Amino acid sequence: MTRTRPEPFINQVVSDRSWQVRPESLDATLGERWARGGRLLVKFTNVLWPDEPVQITAGLGGPATDDSTRETVLARVEKADGTVVIVAEGSVPRA
């Protein structure tokens, strides 16, 4: 299942600091499971300048290979032209 949530991120500068202050995007997508024990590895792959709109796609990717009690989380941030800015992977406790 993939959820796309671009609305809160229009005209945001994405950097290590702005990602830290935007946890509500994962809260809104994954709810209590994220709040109880979400883990995320974030990789910055490209530069994003002020006023560039982005689209964030996040969703569950199936059972985690390293822990049967967790489910994989996948996320990516793309510019309007399709350039990938951030790739993230992690896990949440299974429902």
Report pLDDT for 18: 46
- Domain range spanning residue 14? 2-93
Number of domains in the chain: 1
Containing 3, the helix (H) or strand (E) segment is strand 2-4
Q: In a structure prediction context, what are the per-residue pLDDT tens digits for the chain, which is 95 residues long?
A: 444 444 444 444 444 444 443 556 677 777 888 888 888 888 888 888 877 888 888 888 899 999 999 999 888 888 999 999 989 899 999 98
Specify the CATH number for the domain of residue 28. 3.10.129.10
Report pLDDT for 52: 82
Sign of the torsion formed by the C-alpha atoms of 34, 30, 2 and 76: negative
Report pLDDT for 25: 67
